[in-house]
Amino acid sequence: MSYIYKRTANYYETDMMGIVHHSNHIRYFEESRLAYMKSRGLDVLQMEKEGIIIPNVDAYAKYFVPVRFGETVDIEVSLTTFNGTKMEYTYTMRRENGEIAATGHTMHCFVKDTFRPISLKKSFPEYYEKLLGMLE
């Protein structure tokens, strides 16, 4: 199951060429992932209050066409891998005409505040089930 997140490029996110700086694509991916998780009852802020920290351990983006200031893009995000201790999301960013601007993925794990890995299945089964239900 995927989720579509709409995002309009801000002026401050652009570079001297007038396009969204490549580093901001990873930020857009993160925004879309957090919105997707929240839409499925997985509020990351609440999870952190309960002691679950979700660091990013890998991020990748491939760029096809530039996104410019004021342009709105749709970011399709999907949970593609999940085993209870780590998860991977994939992203496809499309311009308003449907053209793919960028694709990418991010990998995350689950840790306590000591940064020791945890298994959601054992420690937080309700979150485990919600994430399992999001798998593509």
Average pLDDT for the chain: 97
Q: Domain total for the chain?
A: 1
- What integer pLDDT is reported at residue 51 of this predicted model? 95
- What integer pLDDT is reported at residue 29 of this predicted model? 98
DSSP collapsed to 3 states, 77-96: EEEEEECCCEEEEEEEEECC
Global confidence as pTM = 0.94
Whose tokens are 């399709």? That residue is 76
58 included as an active-site residue: no
- What integer pLDDT is reported at residue 1 of this predicted model? 84
Asked whether residue 116 carries a pLDDT value surpassing 80, the answer given is yes
Which structural domain range is residue 39 located in? 2-134
- Write down the number of H helices and E strands in the chain: 4, 5
Sorting pLDDT into bands at 50, 70 and 90, what band is 136? confident
Sorting pLDDT into bands at 50, 70 and 90, what band is 111? very high
Q: Per residue in 12-44, pLDDT tens?
A: 999 999 999 999 999 999 999 999 999 999 999
CATH number at residue 95: 3.10.129.10
